[in-house]
Amino acid sequence: MSEINYPKPDGIITFDRLSSVYLTNTSHRENQPNHLKLKNKDTAIEVNYDVYRSPEVRYCPAGVYEIIEDSLSGNNRLQINSQNCIHCKTCDIKDPTQNIKWCPPEGESGPNYSRM
Ligand code: SF4
């Protein structure tokens, strides 16, 4: 299957991921507990990656999920950069096996849209 080449964001109608995440004004305490949990860690690779090529890497608007290849073993693992989450809750709904459990962030953390 060939990769789709989308046009670059024009800054008028379409925007790059980083500046869109910046607009959410999201903040978290540096060492707050991870609010994104996997019900089964093995499913992230054995089903999500092996069958679907980890759709969470593509649908998450904040780039929270990454597939990292272990340089020693050559095995893949799912890395969750929960501090980047903008709490859209897409992963909680869209995960093919409902393996990702989104929990509300600690009080007063999360997105803070200044113009809403
Ligand atoms: S709720 Fe899930 S999909 Fe949305 S930004 Fe956070 S990790 Fe990404």
Task: Indicate the domain borders of the chain.
Answer: 35-102
Using the mean position of ligand 1's atoms as its centre, give its distance from the Cα of residue 4 in Å: 23
pLDDT (tens digit per residue) in 87-114? 999 999 999 999 999 998 888 788 888 7
Using the mean position of ligand 1's atoms as its centre, give its distance from the Cα of residue 49 in Å: 18
- Going by CATH, does the domain composed of 35-102 fall within 3.40.50.300? no
Instruction: Return the number of other C-beta atoms located less than 10 Å from residue 20's C-beta.
Output: 14
Using the mean position of ligand 1's atoms as its centre, give its distance from the Cα of residue 95 in Å: 11
| 78 and 66 Cβ atoms separated by less than 8 Å | yes
Distance of CA 75 to the CA centre of its chain: 20
36 lines ligand 1 (CB under 6 A): yes
Longest dimension (CA), the chain: 48
For residues 64 and 85, give the distance between their C-alpha atoms in angstroms, rounded to a whole number. 6
Q: If you average pLDDT over residues 9-25, what whole number do you get?
A: 90
The model's pTM is 0.84
